[in-house]
């Protein structure tokens, strides 16, 4: 064979060419690299599925026990570890949010612990001692032979209900008044203490909290001024409620013709009988206008300013004395709080009782007159027997009220202050 044919044959063998009968050449191997075989849509879907499984932590075992290809999906071990961790983290987040809500509530209560303790204690003390207050008001405004006579007459004519007439008004007013009063007092006390320290260099609170100290002019003046500030502020709130309470307490006596100095005033006086708190308020507005709700405001302002100043001054000074005489920890002793609370009520009422009697009599008289009619003023007369009717009842009631109030107040305030506002462990 010629050389050129041999060369050509070698080339053909290298390409595995086959000469067909029709003269065409078939190559078993393409002279250029072949494209990958075309994949069907099902094969593409399977590959995409496997890629997605690998992304999500799932491996594909394509070898079966007999050596054939299979698609057995087994979970990744990392997923088995991550899943419980994620669940625990979710539970911890839920518990943490619940704990945060409780913690926020506790911090809010602790911040306003004075107001919370004062409100709860006022409700308790008012309910337990209201019958004594009712007897005191009746003895101030009408003549009785004494405490026993007043109690017997009230029970015979009005039964037990007579001792609790008008309780709704003081339940609302005293709770509100004491809450506001204690809040204003606490803030005023620290403002005045800072002022004294800044201008005169005397640390009032540091002196009171020091062991073995006694009340002095600075402490008495500071606590008295803070109490007077609180008393003058609360009169605006207390006056309408106290007038309503008084009218309810004496409504039956008002309706008696022999207690009305003028025949024309009997119809107005009788209109207050057997009415609830809201209807009594409406009746006062009907006969005396909205300004009638503040009948006797000046006397009320004088009473509360002097009385509240004396009240807090006596309480703080008594606690300091009891702490000094009894040693450390006496201020937290329930007996010491009981004594200090009782003393502040007795001393304050002994000082202001003639003012309170004048206020009660003037308000009682005004209930028998319509708007525009002149009500005769009542003079404040100290050391006159008629102005001290019911003083013993009032002092006993005040002692009981404040003993219950301050015992409850100090207990609740201490418990609230001790509340744990830290997160609980998860």
Question: What pLDDT band is residue 132 in, cutting at 50, 70 and 90?
Answer: confident
Q: Would you state the pLDDT for residue 294? A: 92
pLDDT band at 101 (very low <50, low <70, confident <90, very high): low
pLDDT at 11: 46
Summarised one tens digit per residue, pLDDT across range 182-216 is 889 989 999 999 999 999 999 999 998 888 888 99
Q: How far is CA 71 from CA 52, 57, 197, in A?
A: 14, 16, 85
- The mean per-residue pLDDT over the stretch 347-362 comes to 91
With 60 as the cut, is the pLDDT of residue 127 above it? yes
Q: Any idea which residue has 């690299």 for tokens? A: 33
All structural domains of the chain: 114-417 (1.50.40.10)
Integer-rounded Cα radius of gyration of the chain: 45
**What's phi and psi for 158, nearest 5 deg?**
-130, 0
Nearest in space to 144 (alpha carbons), one of 246, 247, 250:
250
Q: Supply the mean pLDDT for the chain.
A: 75
Say if residue 149's pLDDT is above 80: yes
Closest of 356, 174, 367, 363 to residue 280, by C-alpha = 367
Those residues whose C-beta lies under 8 Å from the C-beta of residue 132, and which sit 6 or more positions away, are: 393, 396, 397, 400
Percent of the chain having pLDDT more than 70?
69
> What is the structure's pLDDT at 232?
93
Average pLDDT over residues 306-317: 93
Percent of residues, the chain, with pLDDT higher than 90? 18
Per-residue exposure over 162-188, b if at least 16 CB sit within 10 Å of its own CB, e if not: bbebbbbbbbbbbbbbbbbbbbbbeeb
pLDDT at residue 58 in the model: 46
Q: List pLDDT tens digits, range 313-341.
A: 999 998 888 878 876 544 556 777 788 88
Q: Let me know if 127 is exposed, middle or buried by CB neighbors in 10 A (0-12, 13-18, 19+).
A: middle
Residue 299 has pLDDT above 90, yes or no: yes
Report pLDDT digits (tens) over 368-413: 888 877 888 888 888 888 888 888 888 888 888 888 888 888 888 8
The mean per-residue pLDDT over the stretch 109-127 comes to: 81
Residue 396's pLDDT is 83
Where does the pLDDT of residue 84 fall: very low under 50, low under 70, confident under 90, or very high at 90 and above? low
b/e per residue, 87-124, with b = 16+ CB within 10 A? eeeeeeeeeeeeeeeebeeeeebeeebbbbbbbebbeb
* Mean pLDDT of the 226-243 span: 91
Q: Which residue has the higher pLDDT, 100 or 132?
A: 132
Give the pLDDT confidence score for residue 61 in this predicted structure: 46
**Tokens of residue 249, six digits:** 């307490």
Per residue, the 3-state secondary structure of 217-280, as one string, reads HHHHHHHHHHHHHHHHHHHHHHHHHHHHHHHHHCHHHHCCHHHCCCHHHHHHHHCCCCCCHHHH
- Whether pTM > 0.85 for this model: the answer is no
Q: If you average pLDDT over residues 31-38, what whole number do you get?
A: 45
Read off the tokens for 155: 């029970």
Angle at 340 between CA 337 and CA 345, to 5 degrees: 125
pLDDT reported for residue 269: 73
Task: Specify the higher pLDDT residue, 367 or 10.
Answer: 367
């Amino acid at each position: 064979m010629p050389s050129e044919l041999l060369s050509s044959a070698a080339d053909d063998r290298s390409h595995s060419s086959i000469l067909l009968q029709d003269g065409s050449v078939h190559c078993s191997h393409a002279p250029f690299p072949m494209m990958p075989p075309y994949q069907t849509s099902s094969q593409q879907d399977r590959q995409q599925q496997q890629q997605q499984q690998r992304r999500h932590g799932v491996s594909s075992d394509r070898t079966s026990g007999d050596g054939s290809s299979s698609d057995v999906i087994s979970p990744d071990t990392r997923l088995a570890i991550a899943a419980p961790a994620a669940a625990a983290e979710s539970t911890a987040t839920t518990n943490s949010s619940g704990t945060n809500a409780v913690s926020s509530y506790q911090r809010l209560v602790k911040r306003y612990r004075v107001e919370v303790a004062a409100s709860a204690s006022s409700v308790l003390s008012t309910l337990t001692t209201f019958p004594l207050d009712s007897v005191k008001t009746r003895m101030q405004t009408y003549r009785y032979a004494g405490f026993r006579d007043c109690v017997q007459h009230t029970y015979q004519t009005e039964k037990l209900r007579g001792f609790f007439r008008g309780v709704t008004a003081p339940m609302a007013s005293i709770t509100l008044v004491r809450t506001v009063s204690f809040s204003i007092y606490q803030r005023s006390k620290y403002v005045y203490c800072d002022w004294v320290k800044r201008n005169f260099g005397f640390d009032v609170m540091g002196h009171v909290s020091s062991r073995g100290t006694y009340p002095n002019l600075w402490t008495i003046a500071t606590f008295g001024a803070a109490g007077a500030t609180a008393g003058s502020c609360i009169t605006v709130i207390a006056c309408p409620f106290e007038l309503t309470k008084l009218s309810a307490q004496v409504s039956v006596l008002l309706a008696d013709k022999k207690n009305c100095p003028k025949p024309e005033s009997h119809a107005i006086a009788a209109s207050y009988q057997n009415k609830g708190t809201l209807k009594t308020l409406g009746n006062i507005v009907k006969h005396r206008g909205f300004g009638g709700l503040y009948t006797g405001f000046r006397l009320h302002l004088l009473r509360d300013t002097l009385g509240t100043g004396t009240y807090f001054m006596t309480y703080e000074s008594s606690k300091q004395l009891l702490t000094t005489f009894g040693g450390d920890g006496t201020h937290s002793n329930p007996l010491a709080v009981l004594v200090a609370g009782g003393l502040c009520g007795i001393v304050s009422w002994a000082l202001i009782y003639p003012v309170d009697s004048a206020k009660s009599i003037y308000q009682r008289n005004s209930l028998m007159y319509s708007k525009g009619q002149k009500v005769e003023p009542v003079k404040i007369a100290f050391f006159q027997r008629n102005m001290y009717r019911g003083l013993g009842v009032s002092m006993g009631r005040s002692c009981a009220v404040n003993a219950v109030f301050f015992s409850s107040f100090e207990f609740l305030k201490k418990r609230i202050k001790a509340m744990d506002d830290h997160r609980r462990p998860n």
